Structure 1
Amino acid sequence: MMRTLHIGLRVTDLERSLAFYKAIGYGVVGSVPDTPIGHLTMLKLPGDEFVTVELVHDAKPVERGTDVSHLVVKVESMADTLDALASHGIEPVDPGQKSEDGLETTFIADPDGRRIELVQWPPGHADGMTAADWPEERGESDG
């Protein structure tokens, strides 16, 4: 069986990035200081069983657009999350969207300018995206 393990994100300033990711709820699981690709710090959210983000610090500046489009994090309450982030000086980088069924999204940016989409699912939605989110594509192969 194959599954996505985590995403590795290059960061310019490890301490600044750790402070940011901790402020949005990630905790450090462990780190490996000396690897061929740099200092690795493994992170996970409290509700995750496994590491989902790996910060890679190699003392080189990160050029926006050369690493990842965006990371997506599920939140229980957009309003509560935005209030908590504001207390750490983290503000949305766009006005966000809200649908009639209760789906809410907005973007914040980490210290290297990487966009992180916050998603509040509508009531009754699964914890992640499933084929039910694309009913017109049912019957196609899972790949």
Structure 2
Amino acid sequence: MLTVSSITHVAIRVKDIDRTLDFYVNKLGFSELLRLDRDDRLWLVYLRITDDQYLEVFPEGQGVDAPGPEAVGYNHMCLAVPDIEQTVRELAAAGVPLTRPKIQGADGNWQTWITDPDGHRIELMQMAPDGMQATAIARLRGR
């Protein structure tokens, strides 16, 4: 059986690479790791989330916006944050509007939602020590 240890990247296609980099780098605090060119033009930008997790950004997307939440395909990316209240304050200071307010989700974790300039949905979540995921992991580990 295949063993998977983690997700290393999520890839998105965007219309305006400069607008997208401004959002992820200047507003969300990601670091640009590297760029790859193909046929003498920008093909891909890697943005660092952690040392082994990345967002791959492909320029020159077509269409108006990312598919809606009911469409088949990519639905959203969830980013872990240590303090949801601080995250909400930082988003407001950066001029990033919430598309859903901060709530405690059905799983017991705190979350809020934003979208990037192309409409890709991003969930920001503070994992609760007694949330459903933490409880399930503890059960699996025999704690």
In structure 1, stretches of 5+ residues that fail to align are 139-143
Q: 1:99/1:108 Cα in 2 relative to 1: closer, same or farther (>3 Å)?
A: closer
Counterpart residue number, 2:118: 112
Counterpart residue number, 1:32: 36
Aligned counterpart for 1:96 among listed residues 74, 83, 102: 102
Letter in 2 for 1:5: T
Letter in 1 for 2:46: M
Q: 1:94/1:133 Cα in 2 relative to 1: closer, same or farther (>3 Å)?
A: farther
| 8 Å contact from structure 1 (residues 107, 115) kept in 2 | yes
User: Pairwise CA RMSD of aligned residues?
Assistant: 3.2
Aligned counterpart for 1:82 among listed residues 70, 81, 88: 88
Q: 1:90/1:53 Cα in 2 relative to 1: closer, same or farther (>3 Å)?
A: same
Give how far 1:99 is off.
5.6
Counterpart residue number, 2:9: 6
- The C-alpha deviation readout for 1:75-128, integer Å capped at 9, x for no partner, is 011111111111221011012322699620111000001110000011477xxx
The count of corresponding residues between Structure 1 and Structure 2 is: 131
In structure 2, stretches of 5+ residues that fail to align are none
Deviates more, 1:95-104 or 1:110-119: 95-104
- The C-alpha deviation readout for 1:9-35, integer Å capped at 9, x for no partner, is 001100110011111121111010226
| 8 Å contact from structure 2 (residues 13, 61) kept in 1 | no
Q: 1:94/1:30 Cα in 2 relative to 1: closer, same or farther (>3 Å)?
A: same
Counterpart residue number, 1:141: none
Give how far 1:5 is off.
2.2
Aligned counterpart for 1:16 among listed residues 12, 15, 19: 19
> TM-score by structure 2 length?
0.75
Deviates more, 1:99-108 or 1:109-118: 99-108
> TM-score by structure 1 length?
0.75
Deviates more, 1:20-29 or 1:108-117: 20-29
Give how far 1:134 is off.
9.6
Letter in 1 for 2:94: H
Structure 1's consecutive aligned runs of 4 or more residues displaced over 6 angstroms after TM superposition are none
Identity of aligned residues (%): 27
Q: 1:102/1:41 Cα in 2 relative to 1: closer, same or farther (>3 Å)?
A: same
Give how far 1:62 is off.
5.2
Q: Distance in 2 between matches of 1:59 and 1:100?
A: 34
